[in-house]
Homo-oligomer: A and B are copies of this chain.
Amino acid sequence: MTGPVVEDYVKVIYAHTEWQAEPITSTALAARLGLAASSVTEMVKKLSTQGLVSHEPYGAIELTRDGTALALRMVRRHRLIETWLVQHFAYSWDEVHDEAEILEHALSDRLLDAIDDELGRPARDPHGDPIPSRDGSIVRPDAVLLADAPAGGRVVRISDRNPALLRELESRGVVLDAIVRPGDLGAEALASIWVATA
């Protein structure tokens, strides 16, 4: 009943609050989806009717329990697929996103679970993002942006927004679990890398 479009909306709404707090606005949602604001307003109204989202006119957009469950389902799919492409097919870090974006809507639960088993039920994806379990639970490592960690620390996550930056970082040895200090890197990197707290 829900279809790829609903899945994408819900996933983006979820993603916005995963590492930062504020709920997403309809303008930001439109920007991330590459759609006109008016389209988003209409669709959000439908999602609200379906009980996936709570939203009063001119207010913020937040996921309901059902919406969060669907979002976690999609996040699980996306991250498992990315992990699988990297580990099994030697995709590089920065190439997996587009393929995963499509496949996450297409694989059956059965195939996805088979892939999960084959990978040994990984807890995080190649970017360090936690992979929700089959029952929808997710454990997010305590972490802060490198920009906010003067002493640096162990890399726990690297945002996948900028593929060029990903390649650059990889070539300099900045990968998951590496130890970095803020002084070693540029401004954009500081805002893309999370390190473990304490």
Contacts and interface: CB of A to CB of B under 8 A. Distances in A.
Interface of A: 85, 89, 98-99, 102-103, 105-108, 110-111, 114
A89 B102 CA distance: 21
Majority-rule SS of A interface residues: helix
Contacts of A103: 106-107
Given A85-B111, A103-B106, A105-B106, 9 more contacts: A89-B111, A98-B108, A99-B108, A99-B110, A99-B111, A102-B106, A102-B108, A103-B107, A106-B106
Nearest to A114: B89
A104 to B, nearest CB: 9
A108 B103 CA distance: 9
Number of copies of this chain that the complex holds: 2
A97 B88 CA distance: 24
Nearest to A117: B89
12 contacts: A85-B111, A89-B111, A89-B114, A98-B108, A99-B108, A99-B110, A99-B111, A102-B106, A102-B108, A103-B106, A103-B107, A106-B106
A105 B102 CA distance: 10
